[in-house]
């Protein structure tokens, strides 16, 4: 079936659809769908009840309050949905906090339309990400484009993997939320692994859970990447003092050696085509002796100095 009116309720899906060359068929997106730039021209059909301008601690408190009261974090505009009349809606089954969840979407659509198809994607590792690209490519009639895209990504993965195969594995911590502390889970530890490092504490292919700051200090990572989910780089930089004020910050090897990096979350928390950019960024960060600034140059990456 050739779907002609697609509603993407997931930034990852939006990025995949545009990468597959079917962006003109996307009629609705979420408040967070900002890549590529053309996504900003689409109607925003989904919003959040959480005030993203707040600090990470305040956001966490808001989310916890909504969840404990049985409320949804997101709100679909039913009137807009009716007027746009999408024939395909793409959502997710990964996380109830990061994006609107499948069952919420299904319930909304059942109340509005009986003909709209709902597709949900989920990823725990790199292969899942590539499978999702192929899956959506098949659904929207862009299988050849999906195969080509996945092929190019695999070549880039292989280049990094081969270059770091015999290199020293560098201990790395990827902070995906600041207060409370969460470390990057699911596909992020695998990205670090391919880039020639190993993620301390957090296992690959597993969801992230709250951690104690003392665990980070005791792990003594050689590289520290700070990239909170849904944060742009500038907002992350504004919250860095929260970490710098914590006991033990200055004793972490990554801090001592100025190997603390901040980047844009789109390279990491969105499990779409740009994850390969994130993997390459990690390669330059973890093994500058191999890659130099080849993969950080021109991308949204900031290296903290001890004087920051």
Going by C-alpha positions, the residue among 147, 145, 153, 142 that lies closest to residue 25 is 142
What's the rounded Cα separation, in Å, for the pair 269 and 253? 25
Give CA–CA dist 178/55, Å, rounded.
Answer: 9
Would you tell me how many other CB atoms lie within 10 Å of the CB of residue 68?
8
pLDDT score at 20: 98
Q: Which of 147, 179, 197 is the last residue of a domain?
A: 147
Residue 19's CATH number: 3.40.50.1980
Regarding whether 174 and 140 lie in a shared domain, the answer is no
The model's pLDDT over 244-279, given as tens digits with 9 standing for 90+, comes to: 999 999 999 999 999 999 999 999 999 999 999 999
Looking at 118, 147, 176, the residue that finishes a domain is 147
Query: For every one of its 308 residues, what pLDDT tens digit does the chain have, with 9 covering 90 and above?
Result: 579 999 999 999 999 999 999 999 999 999 999 999 999 999 999 888 888 888 898 988 888 888 787 777 888 888 898 899 999 999 887 666 665 655 666 766 766 666 788 899 999 999 999 999 999 999 999 999 999 999 999 999 999 999 999 999 999 999 999 999 999 999 999 999 999 999 989 889 998 999 999 999 999 999 999 999 989 999 999 999 999 999 999 999 999 999 999 999 999 999 999 999 999 999 999 999 999 999 999 999 999 975 44
Cα separation, 185 vs 125, in Å, equals 9
Structure tokens at 53: 């301008």
Owning domain of residue 66: 6-147
**62/188 same-domain check:** no
Q: How many domains does the chain have?
A: 2
State residue 65's pLDDT score: 85
Which residues have C-beta within 8 Å of that of residue 239, sequence separation ≥ 6? 55, 56, 178, 179, 228, 231
């Amino acid at each position: 079936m050739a779907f002609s009116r697609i509603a993407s309720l997931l930034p990852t899906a939006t990025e995949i659809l545009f990468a597959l060359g079917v962006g003109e068929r996307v009629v609705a997106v979420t408040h967070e769908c900002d890549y590529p730039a053309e996504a900003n021209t689409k109607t925003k059909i989904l919003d959040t009840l959480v005030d993203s301008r707040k600090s990470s601690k305040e956001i966490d408190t808001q989310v916890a309050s909504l969840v404990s009261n049985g409320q949804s974090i997101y709100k679909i505009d039913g009137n807009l949905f009716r007027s746009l009349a999408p024939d395909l809606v793409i959502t997710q089954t990964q996380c109830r906090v990061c994006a609107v969840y499948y069952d919420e979407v299904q319930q909304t659509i059942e109340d509005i339309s009986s003909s709209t198809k709902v597709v949900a994607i989920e990823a725990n590792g790199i292969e899942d990400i590539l499978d999702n690209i192929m899956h959506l490519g098949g659904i929207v009639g862009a299988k050849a484009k999906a195969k080509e895209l996945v092929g190019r990504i695999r070549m880039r993965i292989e280049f990094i993997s081969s270059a770091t195969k015999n290199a020293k594995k560098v201990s790395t911590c990827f902070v995906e939320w600041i207060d409370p502390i969460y470390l990057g889970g699911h596909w992020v530890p695998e990205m670090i692994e391919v880039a020639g490092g190993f993620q301390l504490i957090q296992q690959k292919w597993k969801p992230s859970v709250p951690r104690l700051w003392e665990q980070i200090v005791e792990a003594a990572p050689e590289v520290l990447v700070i990239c909170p989910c849904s944060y742009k780089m500038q907002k992350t930089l504004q919250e860095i003092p929260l970490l710098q004020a914590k006991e033990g910050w200055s004793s972490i090897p990554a801090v001592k050696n100025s190997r603390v990096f901040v980047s844009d979350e789109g390279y990491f928390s969105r499990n779409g085509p740009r994850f390969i950019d994130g993997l390459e960024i990690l390669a330059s960060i973890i093994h500058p002796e191999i890659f130099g600034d080849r993969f950080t140059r021109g991308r949204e990456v900031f290296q903290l100095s001890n004087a920051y």
